[in-house]
Structure 1
Amino acid sequence: MKIAVVNWRDPWHPRAGGAETFAWELARRFARNGHEVCFVTARAPGQRRRESVEGVLFVRMGGVLSVYPLVLGWLLPRGGRFDVVLDCQNGIPFFTPWVVRRRTRVLCVVHHVHDRQFGVHLPRWMAAFGRFLEGPVSRWSYRRHESVAVSPSTVLAMRERLRWRGPVHIVPNGVTVAAPADLVRSPVPRLVCLGRLVAHKRVHLLIDAVAELRKRRPGLVVDVVGRGPEEAALRSRLPEGVILHGYLPEEDKARVVARAWLHVSASQGEGWGLSVLEAAALGVPTVAFDVDGLRDAVRHGETGWLLPEGTDLAKGIAAALDDLDHTYTVKCREWAGRFSWDRSADRLTALMLGHDHDNDHGPGWEQEQR
């Protein structure tokens, strides 16, 4: 097949996150399996306009907002070349059905519904416009096309909050972590937080909890790994015991995660929570709030703990530390082992070929999970 992967950013963009990992891990496997893949995306300063990586052609144009009309303008005269377009929604999709031929299969890939996050990141009028595009405009634009979600939480949010009517298939994230030989668990309590430093991740809640946690466990240390627009604000308020690493190469990140006792996510909602799976692969359970995506990625009482929204995070972490034993490590590794980028790529390939008809909470998800 000739496949266009249309995504807001590529994995080397300075603001890349889990959605970019998903798009890239699948795109490179499509190319490896003999398909012709074009990854169309925004262009960060210093990035090439065109280059080929592992058989995937990258075409870059535009910035945060200008990428949307520029991609549509680029695709309009070329839409007939592609058999499939994977239109990856990051709050707002690219509306590629407007410019491709009707015979081109378009799959809208949704990681999570952004309606509540627009108000966190944007002025009120822009947030309202974003919700209008994500809801009624998207629902109409993709009414004749199938969609892909990464978790049952996302499917439910699409149905209830966006009133999405068409078929929605679940293609879960895989997991790949570096595993250097010198992975050692810390002898003193250590927490780790992975992810982009953006407002809706609420890393400040973890930082605010550190003082109370260190009263109970004076040697406790917190490692925060990631970069993003909130980094400067977080650095200005770091208490004793917190290390803000910024970006780390994969092997260094694995060492930091592997020495932690717990991984903590204070996010207000995710599509899935790729960092949860990365930590689990290294035997580290997660404490998170019981919110979209994270309630799918964390199995409460087995691979971590889910706290009701509004729970005092320090108390929740303290209880988890008291409850922690080796069985969590074993179950975390077993859970992470059920997810594979290869299997996800095979499932999405079947959908692109029109061979897979499981949708919503169908057996495809249950087989991956259970």
Structure 2
Amino acid sequence: MRRPRSGPRSERLDGYRILRQGSRTTVYPRSLMRLRRLARREGAFDVVIDTQNGLPFAAPLATSTPVIALVHHVHKEQWPVVFGPLVARLGWLLESRVAPRIYRGHQYVAVSARTRDELGGLGVDLGACSVIHNGTDLPFSDRVPRSSDPRVVVLGRLVPHKRVERAIDVVARLRHRFPGIRLRVVGDGWWREQIIEHAERVGAADLVDVLGFVDEATKHHELASAWVGLAPSVKEGWGLNVVEAAAHGVPTVAFHGAGGLSESIVDNATGLLAHDVCGLTEGCARLLADHELRGDMALAAREHARRFTWEETVERWDRLVRHTAARRAPVAEIDHVATPPAVLVGRHRRSRPASA
């Protein structure tokens, strides 16, 4: 993984060894070099999980070990939001044309059916692509009271493609219809100052609280006390922020066509989907004004969130990783996979016991 400026090169956390190298751009070649060095020094890996976040790490070019390509979402809409035209075109070329060729014949995992379908549109064999949804952190307590005033929450990284500015525009438009309305922005990132400047520019700085990074207890408290969630992102692979809010009975309003958000939100049941900022505003206003509707959606949202547990996510990943480590053919349906009992996953082969 990439090394932050102040982060250690390596550390152990909960029994895992974490190795960091490179910058935002050099992390890719340096990670492949380290992968090869580790395999030579400590023995071959059983399986490599290669997370493709736009740009591919291209692990199949550096190892003969079975590779699982994990894709959260396809970045077609995000490239031009974050980069200039030339870099955006190059990035999309690598993601849409080069990456599918590199990982051809390897197992894919998508975090939503929407992402899986988009990968199919890029030429990825859907027979080799499984869907494993992210799990959801359960609330620490259901006893946190709702805010007495209308409160809207945005949860996520502060980067351009999350478009937190759209949420600020929404509360700015609603300030006279809902006196006391506040927007609580939970999360941090390199786009933070631009978000604060936008709030000032549209005259909504007095309505917006940018909380930055918070601990888990504070995050759950903020979600539980909110009336409505907003997810104005260009694209999400799944929408973990949406389901975490749903676990607290908070319905979310997001955009149609934003990847997994159209799956993590059941439109008109656990939240609302809009086509533009006007629709986002009216959807938010509808939920703020209609207490009965909001209550019905809160119940449905809780039930929806209970479907996605980390226990199930881990179990499905474990089954697929063991299947892949046994060098079996890629699959689309994990539930039909039998776990090879003799394969020990998560260690180097050199450290495998003789009975394995």
Please give the range of the TM-score, normalised by the shorter of the 2 chains. Answer: 0.7 to 0.9
Structure 2 counterpart of 1:3: none
Aligned 1:200-349 pairs, distance under 5 A: 200-238=161-199, 239=204, 240-291=206-257, 292-309=259-276, 311-323=278-290, 324-349=293-318
Match of 2:135 among 174, 182, 185: 174
Q: What is the distance in 1 between the residues matched to 2:4 and 2:76? A: 26
1:347 partner SS: helix
1:109 partner SS: strand
The TM-score, its normalising length taken from structure 2, stands at: 0.85
Structure 2 counterpart of 1:136: 97
Structure 1 counterpart of 2:341: none
Structure 2 counterpart of 1:354: 323
Structure 2 counterpart of 1:17: none
Alpha carbons 2:77, 2:235 under 8 Å: kept = no
Distance 1:165 1:125, change over 3 A: same
Tell which has more relative contact order, 1 or 2 (C-alpha 8 A, sep 6+): 2
Cα distance, 1:229 vs structure 2: 2.0
RMSD: 2.1
List alignment gaps of at least 5 residues for structure 2.
337-356
Amino acid at match of 1:45: R
Identical residues among aligned pairs (%): 37
Greater mean deviation of Cα atoms: 166-175 or 350-359? 350-359
Match of 1:105 among 49, 56, 66: 66
Cα distance, 1:163 vs structure 2: 2.1
Aligned 1:124-163 pairs, distance under 5 A: 124-160=85-121, 162-163=122-123
Amino acid at match of 1:293: G
Structure 2 counterpart of 1:188: 149
Greater mean deviation of Cα atoms: 322-331 or 60-69? 322-331
Cα distance, 1:220 vs structure 2: 1.2
Structure 2 counterpart of 1:91: 54
The TM-score, its normalising length taken from structure 1, stands at: 0.82
Greater mean deviation of Cα atoms: 304-313 or 85-94? 304-313
2:37 partner SS: coil
Cα distance, 1:310 vs structure 2: 5.5
Amino acid at match of 1:281: A
Aligned length: 321
Cα distance, 1:312 vs structure 2: 3.6
